[in-house]
Structure 1
Amino acid sequence: MSSQYDVLIVGAGIAGSALAHALSRSSAPQRRIALLERSLAEPDRIVGELLQPAGVAFLNKLGLQGALEGIDAIPVHGYAVVQDGRIVHIPYPDAREGRSFHHGQFVQGLREHAKRAKGVDVIEATVSELVEEGGRVVGVKATRSSGKEKEVFRADLTIIADGCFSNFRSTVQGPSSRPSQTKSHFCGAILKDVRLPMSQHGTVALVRGHGPVLLYQISEHDTRMLVDVKNPLPSDLKKHIITKIVPSLPPQLHEPIRAALSADRLRRMPNSFLPPAPQSHQRGVILLGDAWNMRHPLTGGGMTVALSDVYILSQHLDKVNDLKDWTQMKSILKKWWWERKGLAATINILSVALYDLFGADGECLTVLQDGCFKYFERGGESVRGPVSLLSGISPSTSLLAYHFFYVAFYSMWSLFAHPRPIPAPPTNGESNMNGTHVTGNGTAHATGNGTDEKYSDTRIMQTPSILDYPRLFWLSCRVLWTALVVFGPLLWTEIRWW
């Protein structure tokens, strides 16, 4: 059996479903589009649950804002970053708003829009291989869920959007397109009816000696917790989280976390990084979404990049008269490559660089992490600039470089100017956390237990003496070098193809 379409899209996730809907709205002559997905059941994932303000804007441009309706999506107004009992408020600028939700419900909403789109066939089928003729991909072989025989789906253009575990990435891009080595995993659980330090804000808790912890509400009663656990993974993940991570989190979260871990399985997701590469050498097929480009999920920028890519690509494909004309398609792909660069490169670099700081593995990265938190505490542009980058509102690699190295130099200056903590044991065996204290942009105190208290800090703060200056000067040089080592290679992954 064989079916003929203008466009085949493999994978009905965020990118695939959005693109099918976008192409159906084309001003060009109506195209037949097939959207193939192995299973149309609601997906169950622990990431892809927070859409940044720029992502919401692209969703609106694509006419898909309805996908956020009826799924109990929660408005998100910014972040609260917690470290050693202190909390800094990082609001989105200009009253911008993101959304958080159950990933599967959002995907189902996008699929419903694709099903209702004119000229789109949404087909539940498992794609097993690409079909080539004369050095050109002309379709795929797939088996429908209702059948046993393979069927050939032919098209002028095939788009692979089958996610981070893509089966066709290396076929299209070659073996060099594999993701970088996985350094850590996000371990996820859902907490029930908890009160975060700041309502309708994502919480990022920095745990010394370990990876960051993310918490954000995804429905009226559910709050997602993601714990970054570095490789090699401990044999008992739940025990690791309860003994090593939970004590550093706000007190009101302790019991809900223990309850969630005892009642449900702890799921995990590898955190991978895959920089984009130009597409045009394999005629008739292109990659889209996580199949082509991945970044660390810490900043929640993946869906924003995917929706941006869909919007830009659909605008260009709208102008193509003949999708089989690969000379014209190469020109379109080149334009897409350049137009997506500002947003995609900024979010890609920021995600990995921020993870290196927040995951602080070593003395120099710890200095940078402390400096980053103190930088946020300054408020003003020290908050507005970074969160504008993270939310996709200000897609600029030059602005990102400015703030990143400002943090580096501010961290070095803080070594000499700010008192340094000397750990001291808590007294009477009591917890050293009673609440939180909001700083950063002049907001009022806000605490985990509804009072105006702060975490009581048992560490002794000591101002450096002149005798410490030689050691601190050497440390500051190492800190600057570490900043260069973190940022430089990430920038190179984005500009090496220019």
Structure 2
Amino acid sequence: MTETVEQHNEKRRRLHHEADVVVVGAGVFGCAVAFAMAKQGRSVLLLERWMKEPDRIIGELLQPGGVYALEKLGLAGCLEGIDAVPVKGYDVIYHGNEVVIPYPENAGGIYTGGCTGTEKKGQRPEGRCFHHGRFIAQLRKACAAQPNITIVETEVVSTISSTHNPQILGVETRTTNPSTGEKDQDCFFGQLTIIADGYASRFRKQYHKHTPIVKSKFYALELIDCPMPAPYHGIVVLSDSAPVLLYQIGTHETRALIDIPENLPSAAAKVGGVRNHIKNVILPSLPEQVQPCFAKALEDGKIPRSMPNSYLPPTTQMEKGAVVLGDAMNMRHPLTGGGMTVVFNDVLLLSELLSPERVPKLSDTAAVQNAMKEFHWKRKGLSSIINILAMALYSLFAANDRQLKALQKGCFSYFKKGGNCIDGPVGLLAGIIRQPFVLVYHFFSVALLSTWLVITETVGGLTGLWKLPMAVWEAILILYKACVVIFPFIFSEMRS
């Protein structure tokens, strides 16, 4: 019986550990890129240290632009059967005042459907929230069903370089021997090695010129059967403290993420630590209907699980034979929930640029490097928006000085105006609008509104005209602060 190409490639992967592509990490990016390349006929080895369903507090919200990309990749089915909850927009609560911000109807013209792709005109796009581990399990299941993918549970410890030229040939790993329980040295080889080992990447330092910047952590609670102020919306609670996020991740479960900046006095160990801050500062600032469930989640007496909120600007991939992608290459504050949207759109673009029609052999390192240069700049139409928006909004929402608090108030007042004042910003956040100029326009519209509010509130009326010079000076400081907030991130994206 003649052996098929798929059977031949599977044997080479299983017996000789050779493939067209070696993917390190079976997380969101790793699974998606392995699946996309396998669908194109590439032979793929997908390596993961631990194949058990992960239990993490990240990657739980997928914006509409990410749902759309997931559909295009043929992975929309991974959102089924995991008790995923629709997300229709955001609800921003500012010192007890509330504004609901729905996703815009087909803003920017790039999004045409929801999870099923069958929405009619007039219906708005939707995101999805879910338990991260359940979603990852579905992605891995989709990869396992692909005949061009072999999944191996093994710990990758280093890359393997050619002795003749500076080129990565594959990876060295440690694989558990089922008969002895010991970890044996192993090797896997590919024409291209894609490293996607997440935010705590062990390989980033070798190939990335930047290091992550961490200024705060998210502490997570899981609330059971919690009544939401706006069901099927992400809730952002703004007060005198850093922001709190609430979103439903299942029929009965709601995730609460509490942002705590570094060296926060009210969270210091000498005054009771993180739990004291959450109980005495955060709890009273939440909507009344949420407080009982929130308090109950604190009854276990434990410090909630946490994750660092990192910013890592992207960098062009120039290494021969290997690329570092996903969170190992680019991260932004998770406030806007844009990480997975960036990931799935990155995979879509990468699979197009490295398709067999454009790059017949991945061993052609010059062709791969040219594709990666193109990838780096083309992805910015979305990734730079998500990156800048996340970091700029966090600066406003975690306001810790007078000018930032004025910008925060101006931002909420801007949302209250409705119309394009919410359609534009939430369209950017959702991964629907992909025009960086729109982000700059709305950000400085918020800044100008903030200055106007300060001037009018300071002067008051004719009797307060003597205060006008002081109000104008404060307005200038607010505009300056707005520039200080956004321009470093813009420049970082442009030069990376």
Give 3-state SS (helix, strand or coil) of 2:289's partner.
helix
- Kept after mapping to 2: 8 A contact 1:275/1:293: yes
Question: What letter corresponds to residue 444 of structure 2 in structure 1?
Answer: F
CA distance in 1, matches of 2:412, 2:144: 46
Question: What letter corresponds to residue 177 of structure 1 in structure 2?
Answer: H
Answering whether residue 90 of structure 2 is matched by residue 79 of structure 1, we say: yes
Q: Percent identity?
A: 44
Question: What letter corresponds to residue 396 of structure 2 in structure 1?
Answer: L
- Aligned-pair CA distance for 1:485: 0.6
Alignment of 1:464-483 (within 5 A): 465-483=464-482
Answering whether residue 277 of structure 2 is matched by residue 240 of structure 1, we say: yes
Give 3-state SS (helix, strand or coil) of 1:262's partner.
coil
Tell me what 1:161 maps to.
196
**Cα-to-partner distance string for 1:23-53 (whole Å, 9 max, x where unaligned):** 1111xxx322110000011111112101000
CA distance in 2, matches of 1:419, 1:462: 9
Give 3-state SS (helix, strand or coil) of 1:272's partner.
strand
**Cα-to-partner distance string for 1:84-116 (whole Å, 9 max, x where unaligned):** 111001000111100000011111111100111
Tell me what 1:355 maps to.
394
- Aligned-pair CA distance for 1:338: 2.2
Alignment of 1:313-462 (within 5 A): 313-318=350-355, 319-418=358-457
Give 3-state SS (helix, strand or coil) of 2:379's partner.
helix
- Kept after mapping to 1: 8 A contact 2:458/2:467: no
- Kept after mapping to 2: 8 A contact 1:142/1:152: yes
CA distance in 1, matches of 2:42, 2:27: 21
**Cα-to-partner distance string for 1:307-338 (whole Å, 9 max, x where unaligned):** 00011101121131111111111111122122
CA distance in 2, matches of 1:491, 1:463: 40
Tell me what 2:99 maps to.
88
Tell me what 1:117 maps to.
146
Alignment of 1:46-65 (within 5 A): 46-65=57-76
- Aligned-pair CA distance for 1:470: 2.1
Give 3-state SS (helix, strand or coil) of 1:46's partner.
coil
Alignment of 1:130-279 (within 5 A): 130-133=159-162, 134-146=165-177, 148-173=183-208, 176-180=209-213, 182-208=214-240, 210-232=241-263, 234=267, 235=269, 236-263=273-300, 265-279=303-317
- Aligned-pair CA distance for 1:177: 2.1
Question: What letter corresponds to residue 105 of structure 1 in structure 2?
Answer: R
TM, length-normalised to structure 1:
0.88
- Kept after mapping to 2: 8 A contact 1:418/1:463: no
**Cα-to-partner distance string for 1:426-477 (whole Å, 9 max, x where unaligned):** xxxxxxxxxxxxxxxxxxxxxxxxxxxxxxxxxxx99992233222111111
Tell me what 1:443 maps to.
none
CA distance in 2, matches of 1:351, 1:394: 15
- Kept after mapping to 1: 8 A contact 2:275/2:303: no
CA distance in 1, matches of 2:307, 2:411: 27
**Cα-to-partner distance string for 1:112-154 (whole Å, 9 max, x where unaligned):** 0011112101111000110001211000011123452111111
**Cα-to-partner distance string for 1:196-238 (whole Å, 9 max, x where unaligned):** 1101000000021x21000000000000000000112522211
CA distance in 1, matches of 2:207, 2:235: 38
Aligned residues: 449
Alignment of 1:290-301 (within 5 A): 290-301=327-338
CA distance in 2, matches of 1:463, 1:97: 48
CA distance in 2, matches of 1:463, 1:17: 64
Question: What letter corresponds to residue 489 of structure 1 in structure 2?
Answer: P
Structure 1 residues without counterparts, runs of 5 or longer: 421-460
CA distance in 2, matches of 1:194, 1:250: 11
Answering whether residue 46 of structure 2 is matched by residue 15 of structure 1, we say: no
- Distance change in 2, residues 1:144/1:463 (3 Å): farther
Question: What letter corresponds to residue 178 of structure 1 in structure 2?
Answer: T
Tell me what 2:53 maps to.
42
CA distance in 1, matches of 2:465, 2:257: 42
- Kept after mapping to 2: 8 A contact 1:415/1:472: yes
- Kept after mapping to 1: 8 A contact 2:44/2:148: yes
User: What CA RMSD, in Å, does the superposition of the two structures yield over aligned residues?
Assistant: 1.6
CA distance in 2, matches of 1:105, 1:138: 33
**Cα-to-partner distance string for 1:337-356 (whole Å, 9 max, x where unaligned):** 22211000000000000000
- Kept after mapping to 2: 8 A contact 1:2/1:151: no
- Kept after mapping to 1: 8 A contact 2:313/2:492: yes
- Aligned-pair CA distance for 1:253: 1.2
Give 3-state SS (helix, strand or coil) of 1:6's partner.
strand
Give 3-state SS (helix, strand or coil) of 1:128's partner.
strand
Give 3-state SS (helix, strand or coil) of 1:223's partner.
strand
Tell me what 2:326 maps to.
289
Tell me what 1:25 maps to.
39
Regions of 4+ moved over 3 Å: 461-464
Question: What letter corresponds to residue 274 of structure 1 in structure 2?
Answer: L
- Distance change in 2, residues 1:341/1:387 (3 Å): same
- Distance change in 2, residues 1:14/1:70 (3 Å): same
**Cα-to-partner distance string for 1:338-396 (whole Å, 9 max, x where unaligned):** 22110000000000000000000100000000000000000010010000000010011
- Aligned-pair CA distance for 1:418: 4.4
Question: What letter corresponds to residue 334 of structure 1 in structure 2?
Answer: K
Tell me what 1:6 maps to.
20
Give 3-state SS (helix, strand or coil) of 1:122's partner.
strand
- Kept after mapping to 1: 8 A contact 2:458/2:464: no
CA distance in 2, matches of 1:493, 1:12: 29
CA distance in 2, matches of 1:2, 1:149: 16
Answering whether residue 348 of structure 2 is matched by residue 311 of structure 1, we say: yes
Give 3-state SS (helix, strand or coil) of 2:154's partner.
strand
TM, length-normalised to structure 2:
0.88
Give 3-state SS (helix, strand or coil) of 1:80's partner.
strand
Structure 2 residues without counterparts, runs of 5 or longer: 1-14, 106-123
CA distance in 1, matches of 2:236, 2:45: 40
Question: What letter corresponds to residue 188 of structure 2 in structure 1?
Answer: F
CA distance in 2, matches of 1:472, 1:306: 44
**Cα-to-partner distance string for 1:236-294 (whole Å, 9 max, x where unaligned):** 211111101111111111111111011365011111100001111x1100011000000
Give 3-state SS (helix, strand or coil) of 1:183's partner.
strand
